[in-house]
Amino acid sequence: MEIKQRGVTVWFTGLSGAGKTTISHLVEKELRTQGYKVEVLDGDVVRKNLSKGLGFSKEDREENIRRIGFVAHLLTRNNVIVLVSVIAPYQNIREEVRQMIENFVEVYVNAPLEVCEQRDVKYLYKKARAGLIKNFTGIDDPYEPPSNPEVECRTDQESVTESVKKVLDKLEMLGYFVQ
């Protein structure tokens, strides 16, 4: 039996530590189990490979997001479900990527800064507050929340399972696959 799916980019955005990677990997696992074609573009992994050499200025961050968006666009138009997990702090560049990709679903992984700081296993917030990391999103660089995401996961108020279900239910509702 052939699996029916349409290409789509599912763009997980939120502060560091909000739960983007956790949710996207569980969505990936569920979709792969069901036989769907899925690719994950995780911000940390992409930065080490596709965007090596870019810094964290606003311009470099925007270029990083454009590159990720371009790769997601190529995969999406070939009927792959692309799960992008990046901070992408600026609304204008997220909108630019949305315009580039015909099938785009934005997932706002929303957790308060205090919660993200408590989850900070890499100690990035601590380093940023100590002045060791400059232009850190949420500390000395802004995060502009999405104005109208297709899905909002409140990871401080719901379980990971509930967040994953929200994403999968929205994709099914929008007709990207038949479960």
| Residue boundaries of the structural domains of the chain | 8-172
Give me the helix-helix angle, 91-100 and 58-76, nearest 10°.
Answer: 20
Per the model's pLDDT, the better-predicted residue between 1 and 135 turns out to be 135
81 in helix, strand or coil? strand
**Residue range 120-136: mean pLDDT, rounded:** 89
Instruction: Count Cβ atoms within 10 A of the Cβ of residue 15 and give its class: 0-12 exposed, 13-18 middle, 19 or more buried.
Output: buried
Asked whether 81 and 7 are in contact (CB, 8 A), the reply is yes
Whether 179 shows a pLDDT value over 80: the answer reads no
CATH class assigned to 8-172: alpha beta
Indicate the pTM of the whole model. 0.93
Give the per-residue pLDDT at 2.
60
pLDDT tens across 4-63, in order? 789 999 999 999 999 999 999 999 999 999 999 999 999 878 777 776 777 778 888 888
Phi, psi of 38 (to 5 degrees): -135, 140
Could you give the C-alpha distances from 9 to 18, 70, 106, 122, 156, in angstroms and in order? Answer: 19, 11, 8, 27, 25
Sequence-ordered list of residues with C-beta below 8 angstroms from that of 19, at least 6 positions apart, any chain = 109, 111, 153, 155, 160, 163
Whether 3 shows a pLDDT value over 70: the answer reads no
pLDDT tens across 52-110, in order? 777 778 888 888 899 999 999 999 999 999 999 999 999 999 999 999 999 999 999 99
H/E run at residue 151: strand 151-154
